[in-house]
A and B are shown apart, each in its own frame.
Chain A
Amino acid sequence: MSAGTTVDPASLTHLDDVVKAYDIRGRVPVELDADVVYLIGRAAAIEFDAPYLLVGRDMRTSSEEIAEAVMRGARAEGVTTIDLGLVSTDLLYYASGHLGHPGVMVTASHNPAGYNGLKLCRAGAEPVAFDTGLARIRDRVASGELGSAASSGSHRELDLLASFAEHVRSFVDVASLRPLRVAVDAGNGMAGHVVPPVFAGLPFELVPLYFELDGTFPNHPASPIEPENLRDLSDAVRAGSCDAGLAFDGDADRMFCVDGDGRPVSPSLVTAVIAERMLARAPGATVLYNLICSRTVPETIDRAGGIAVRTRVGHSFIKAVMAETGAIFGGEHSGHYYFRDNYRADSGLIAAVVLLEALSVHGGTLAELVAPYDRYVQSGEINSEVPDVKAAIAAVAEAFADRGEADYADGLTLSADAWWFNLRPSNTEPMLRLNVEATETDTMTTVRDEVLALVRS
Chain B
Amino acid sequence: MAVDQSLIDLLICPACHGEIVYKDRRKVIICTQCELHYPVRENIPVMLVEEASPPRKASRS
Contacts and interface: CB of A to CB of B under 8 A. Distances in A.
Interface of A: 51-52, 80, 82, 97-101, 123-124, 154, 158, 160, 163
Nearest to A98: B41
B15 interface: no
A158 B4 CA distance: 15
A160 B48 contact: no
19 contacts: A51-B11, A52-B7, A52-B44, A80-B4, A80-B7, A82-B44, A98-B41, A99-B46, A100-B45, A100-B46, A100-B47, A101-B44, A101-B47, A123-B47, A124-B50, A158-B42, A158-B44, A160-B42, A163-B42
Tell me which of A80, A100, A101, A124 has the highest count of chain B C-beta atoms within 10 A of its own C-beta: A100
A101 B4 CA distance: 16
Given A51-B10, A51-B11, A80-B4, A99 B50 contact: no
A100 B4 contact: no
A100 B48 contact: yes
B13 to A, nearest CB: 12
A100 B40 CA distance: 10
Given A51-B7, A80-B4, A124 B42 contact: no
A160 B45 CA distance: 15
B43 to A, nearest CB: 9
B7 A99 contact: no
A163 B44 CA distance: 14
A163 B7 CA distance: 24
Given A99-B41, A158-B42, A160-B42, A123 B7 contact: no
Given A99-B41, A154-B4, A160-B42, A123 B11 contact: no
B24 interface: no
Interface string B24-59: 000000000000001001101111101100000000
A16 B40 CA distance: 39
Contacts of B11: 51
Contact of A124 (B38, B41, B48): B48
Contacts of A51: 7, 10-11
Contacts of B38: 100
Contacts of A101: 44, 47
Tell me which of B11, B38, B44 has the highest count of chain A C-beta atoms within 10 A of its own C-beta: B44
A-B complex: 9 closest residue pairs judged by Cβ atoms: A100-B48, A100-B46, A51-B10, A99-B44, A100-B47, A124-B48, A51-B7, A99-B46, A99-B41
B42 A99 contact: yes
Contacts of B46: 98-100
A123 B42 contact: no
A160 B10 CA distance: 24
Contacts of A97: 48
Contacts of A154: 4
A111 B7 CA distance: 37
A101 B51 CA distance: 12
A318 B41 CA distance: 28
Nearest to A50: B47
A52 B47 CA distance: 11
A52 B42 CA distance: 13
A46 to B, nearest CB: 14
Nearest to A123: B48
Contacts of A124: 48, 50
Contact of B51 (A52, A82, A100, A163): A100
Contacts of B42: 99, 158, 160, 163
B14 to A, nearest CB: 8
A101 B14 CA distance: 12
Nearest to B51: A100
Nearest to A51: B10
Contacts of B50: 124
Nearest to A52: B44
Contacts of A100: 38, 45-48, 51
A124 B51 CA distance: 9
Tell me which of A80, A82, A160, A163 has the highest count of chain B C-beta atoms within 10 A of its own C-beta: A80
B38 to A, nearest CB: 8
A52 B7 CA distance: 9
A446 to B, nearest CB: 49
A123 B48 CA distance: 7
A82 B3 CA distance: 13
A100 B44 CA distance: 9
B1 to A, nearest CB: 8
A294 B10 CA distance: 48
Given A98-B41, A98-B46, 8 more contacts: A80-B4, A99-B41, A99-B42, A100-B38, A100-B45, A100-B46, A154-B4, A158-B42
A345 to B, nearest CB: 13
A163 B11 CA distance: 25
Nearest to B50: A124
